[in-house]
Structure formats: structure tokens, C-alpha cells
Amino acid sequence: MVQIITPNNPEQVQSDRDAKMFGSPKDRLDFYRREIQYETSILSHRTDAYLAAQSFLVIAFASCMANLNPEWGKFFTLTVPPMLAVLGILISLNAWPGIRAAYDIIDHWHFKQSELLSSQPVMGMAYDESPLFCEMESTHKGYKKSLMFSVRSPWLFSCFWLVLGAFSLYIQIDNPLT
């Protein structure tokens, strides 16, 4: 008969596994920091691509609204700018999940980092005394403020496009073709 021997303390198994995987709390902290940096880079690239798309749409919208062609300009400015506004809203709604996912992953790694620093008193003291790091980096309040622009951008642009689309329709309907 084969008997499986397990340790009495599951926490010991976890710490042994962690020691084999990371080596030291410093290695784990370095890993968390690299993951935070990687995900922040992804979030930055997603935000940059999103803002570039929105800026091109704003330029196209303004150009369409400035159309003064006497034959088809009125119909063009009645249809194309609201379509661009709808496109801007759709792009915002499609960009939101990717931006939010990157934010959630960054939040996860910051949580893991703060748990490590609070569970390892020696590591936490070394971390706090280092001039490269400060308490603001390891608190939720600090990094969340720095990521708010990326997280809020899709919602702000959605509202912006809603207002612009309504404005473009109002201007064309209020000033009928004579």
C-alpha cells in the first residue's frame, strides 16, 4: 500500500514553493515591478492608439462640418458628422475593455507588491528607505491617480461624441435648406 505523506502546515508548502520559484523576496519584488512596468507600457500603448484614432476623427468631423458645397453640402453635413460621432462612440466602447483589463492587471500586481512589502518587514523597511521608491507607489491611491486619465478617456470621449453628434444634427435641422 502506497501512502502519501503531506506536511501538516500548508503555509510551509506555499513558502517552499515560492522559495523555489523566486529565490528571495527581493526577486519576487523585482518580478512584480517588471510586471507592473510591462502592463503599464501596454496600457500606455492602448491609450496612445485610442487617442490617435480619436484625434483623426475630430479632424474629420471638423472638416465635414466646414463643408460649404452648395449642391450636396447640406446633405453631407447632415449625415456624415453624426456618423463620425457614432463611430467615435463605438471606438470608445471597443477601447474600454482593453484599457480596463490592463488597469485591472496593474491593480493586481500592485496588490501583490503591497502584500509582499507588508508581509516581509525587512523587505518593507528596505523598500521605504530606498530613495527610488516611496510610500505613494505602494498604496492604491498613488498609482490609481496616475492611471485615471487612461481609464476615463473612453468615457469622456463618448460624452464628447454624443454632444458633438447632437450639436451637428441640431445645427442642420434648426437651419433648414432654403
pLDDT in tens, 38-65: 999 999 999 999 999 999 999 999 999 8
Tell me if 15 sits within 8 A of 56, measured CB to CB. no
Q: Is residue 125 part of a domain?
A: yes
Q: Is residue 110 part of a domain?
A: yes
pLDDT band at 99 (very low <50, low <70, confident <90, very high): very high
pLDDT greater than 50 at residue 132: no
What cell does 156 get?
469622456
pLDDT greater than 90 at residue 72: no
Q: Is residue 77 part of a domain?
A: yes
Q: Is residue 2 part of a domain?
A: no
Q: Is residue 58 part of a domain?
A: yes
Owner of C-alpha cell 460624452 = 159
Q: Is residue 50 part of a domain?
A: yes
Q: Is residue 12 part of a domain?
A: no
pLDDT greater than 80 at residue 14: no
**Residue range of the domain that includes 122:** 25-174
Average pLDDT score over residue span 87-95: 96
Count of domains for the chain: 1
Distance, in Å, from the CA atom of 62 to the CA atom of 78, rounded to the nearest integer, reads 13
Distance, in Å, from the CA atom of 39 to the CA atom of 105, rounded to the nearest integer, reads 7
Mean pLDDT of the chain: 82
Q: Is residue 97 part of a domain?
A: yes
